[in-house]
Amino acid sequence: MIEDRHITLAHGNGGRRMRELIDEVFAYHLANAALDVCVDAVPLALAPDMIPFMTTDAFTVQPLEFPGGDIGTLAVNGTVNDLAVSGATARFLTLNAIIEEGLERDCLDRIIRSLGNAARAAGVQVIAGDTKVVPRGQGGGLYLATTGVGWRAQDCSLSMSQIRSGDVILVSGPVGDHGVAVLLARQEFELKGDVSSDCAPVTNLTSPLAAMAGVRFMRDPTRGGIATVAHEIARATSMTVRLDEAALPVRPAVRSVCRILGYDPYYLACEGRVAAVVAPENAEEILHIWRALPEGEEARIIGVVNSGNARVVLTTEIGGERILGELEDDPLPRIC
């Protein structure tokens, strides 16, 4: 008897095959004390005296697997990191999987296993989920959506509204690794390179800063890259964000790929970096904290926020100035 190792529409119908898929793949890899696949909704065990926080993200990256991660690690870390940069600690995730008919079951199994490992590494439990199967030619193999709940201390006041003229901008490591790793994994161009995604939880970077004096705001530069974070700050504060090209860390391999293909690395996604806006007098202390961590070794001060027009200016390495415009056409679709 030939066993079919592909996902069929019947895996999404609510009946026997769906139950088996959930038991054998999802419940198997995501197992934890709080996951009960037979209930409609689950209780949330929250911490007293902390403020619960919530966030959500969908993931449509192509290809599903790439050096340094896959859509599963991305779905965990993307949501964990949105809570982390808000000063919150992620504790619970829900997971939606929209699976395309014909996806290899082994591929689904690898991705959900890796999602389970990423959840354990980030300290979160997957407590609820849902799967749907869409017909062949109406999906991208697998789309995921995760929603995260965590909590933050009462005394944390991180917010763009805290940003003051003269504040400096730090980044925890090189930018653009994730974007270029995914781009190379697509093999659309005759390019090979040794670039891995930076996909990782940023909690170790954010938690020491969450309630620290002088830390105004943090964000992870994902879709749209560090340039888009700079634009969001400029728009929200009506101030000028000035980035220093000489200080901005970009790996040589990332820079080469960008030069060949005409991409600007400042618009490419990271999935394990933090940009922080801090008071100038606290910048060195924060750099010191970050550089003591493996994930923050290459942290740098990369720019400054000053009163002026709402715009983003790049001071180039030869001393000139270039306006970094708002991202218009998509340089690189389906990066996350």
Contact window for a copy of itself (CB under 8 A) among 121-129, 175-183, 272-280, 316-324: 121-129
Is-cis flag, bond preceding 63, omega within 30?
yes
25 secondary structure, DSSP code: I
Whether residue 333 is preceded by a cis peptide bond, meaning omega within 30 degrees of 0, is no
Closest of 63, 183, 65 to residue 114, by C-alpha: 65
Instruction: Provide the minimum distance between the beta carbon of 147 and a copy of itself in the complex, in angstroms, as a whole number.
Output: 4
Q: Encoding tokens for residue 93?
A: 């995730």
Nearer to a copy of itself, 34 or 289 (CB): 34
Give the span between the Cα atoms of 159 and 126, in whole angstroms: 28
Residue 97 binds a copy of itself (CB under 8 A): yes
Which residue's CB is nearer to a copy of itself, number 41 or number 318? Answer: 41
Candidate residues 178, 219, 251, 273; the one interacting with a copy of itself per rule CB under 8 A: 219
Which of 21, 30, 75, 86 touches a copy of itself (CB under 8 A)? 86
Q: What's the closest the beta carbon of residue 335 comes to a copy of itself, in angstroms?
A: 9
Under rule CB under 8 A, residue 215 binds a copy of itself: no
Could you say which of 5, 288, 322, 334 contacts a copy of itself (CB under 8 A)?
Answer: 334
Stretch that binds a copy of itself, among 12-20, 171-179, 253-261, 274-282 (CB under 8 A): 12-20
Q: Which of 170, 249, 174, 272 is nearest to 216 (CA)?
A: 170
Q: Is 107 in the site for a copy of itself (CB under 8 A)?
A: no
Q: Does 333 bind a copy of itself (CB under 8 A)?
A: yes
Are the C-beta atoms of residues 10 and 132 closer than 8 Å to each other? Answer: no
330 binds a copy of itself (CB under 8 A): yes
| Residue 9 beta carbon to a copy of itself: minimum distance, rounded to whole angstroms | 5
First to last CA, the chain: 39
Residue list 238-257, contact with a copy of itself (CB under 8 A): none
CB 305 within 8 A of CB 237: yes
Is residue 151 within 8 A of residue 117, CB to CB? The reply is no
Q: Rounded to the nearest whole angstrom, what is the least distance from the CB of residue 236 to a copy of itself in the complex?
A: 6
Under the criterion CB under 8 A, does residue 326 sit at the interface with a copy of itself? Answer: yes
∠ CA 232-237-243, rounded to 5°: 60
Count of other CB atoms within 10 angstroms of residue 70: 26
State which residue, 14 or 319, has the beta carbon closest to a copy of itself: 14
User: Is 196 in contact with 208 (CB distance < 8 Å)?
Assistant: no
* The residue to which tokens 């926080």 are assigned: 53
Site string for a copy of itself, 35-64 (x = CB under 8 A): ---xxxxxxx-x----xxxxxxxxxx----
Partnered with residue 275 across adjacent β-strands are 171, 219
Structure token pair of residue 293: 């961590």
Does residue 13 bind a copy of itself (CB under 8 A)?
yes
Question: Using CB under 8 A, which of the segments 10-18, 164-172, 276-284, 302-310 binds a copy of itself?
Answer: 10-18
Contact 30, 129 (CB under 8 A): yes
175-214 residues near a copy of itself, rule: CB under 8 A: none
The answer to the question of residue 135 lying near a copy of itself (CB under 8 A) is yes
Please return the burial class of 327, using the count of CB atoms within 10 Å of its CB with bins 0-12, 13-18 and 19+.
middle
What's the Rg (C-alpha) of the chain?
21
Among 2, 3, 49, 138, which residue interacts with a copy of itself (rule: CB under 8 A)? 138
Of the residues 64, 74, 76, 95, which one makes contact with a copy of itself according to CB under 8 A: 95
Is residue 303 a contact point for a copy of itself (CB under 8 A)?
no
